[in-house]
Amino acid sequence: MRYGEDREERGGFTLLEIMITLAIVGIVVMLATSTFRGMMEKYRVEGETKQMFADLMDARGRAMQRNRVFHVQITTNGYKTFEDTNPAPDGDTDLTGSDTQVAGVTVKHMITATGGLSNFQFNRNGIASVTGTGTISLSPNVQNVQADYDCITVKPTRIKMGQYIGTNCVEK
């Protein structure tokens, strides 16, 4: 540096300018990571809800197609569907240990089933053995996450997905 040379003529950055820039970049990255986690949790809940809906619709369709009863068991961490195959050839409408398991899914989000949906069945006509409306909901693991689809309503003749708002599953 020659005597009398101005700082602006030198080019480059001061240590303070670099530290301020790094602090700003760090804050932006932290905010983006937090938002990304919330979005990923939302999509995981929606994915598990859609998979459960598809499996319930599959059990209902198979009950009508095969002219057999299909059973559904729901726990807080997953669900199973069974085809009533015992005794052969058409079963006895009761769930026994030797009935054929069609689907067994473990989920990462807690499931809450109301209205008698922890154990129910689809009869040969695809009608669910529920009285009124039963609700299945999945709870996100992160607070303040509102998934577009996080619950399923099951009525005797209809299964629909929805969004849990307050204390109700609002069908979409």
Mean pLDDT of 108-126: 94
2 pLDDT tier (thresholds 50, 70, 90): low
Per the structure block, which two tokens stand in for 25? Answer: 């970049």
Model pLDDT for residues 18-75, shown as the tens digit of each residue: 999 999 998 888 887 777 777 888 999 999 999 999 999 999 999 999 999 999 999 9
CA–CA separation, 54 and 68 (whole Å): 19
Task: Name the residue ranges covered by the structural domains of the chain.
Answer: 14-171
Q: Which CATH superfamily is domain 14-171 in?
A: minor pseudopilin epsh domain (3.55.40.10)
The whole-chain average pLDDT of the chain stands at 89
The answer to whether 48 touches 109, Cβ cutoff 8 Å, is yes
Q: What percent of the chain has pLDDT over 90?
A: 62
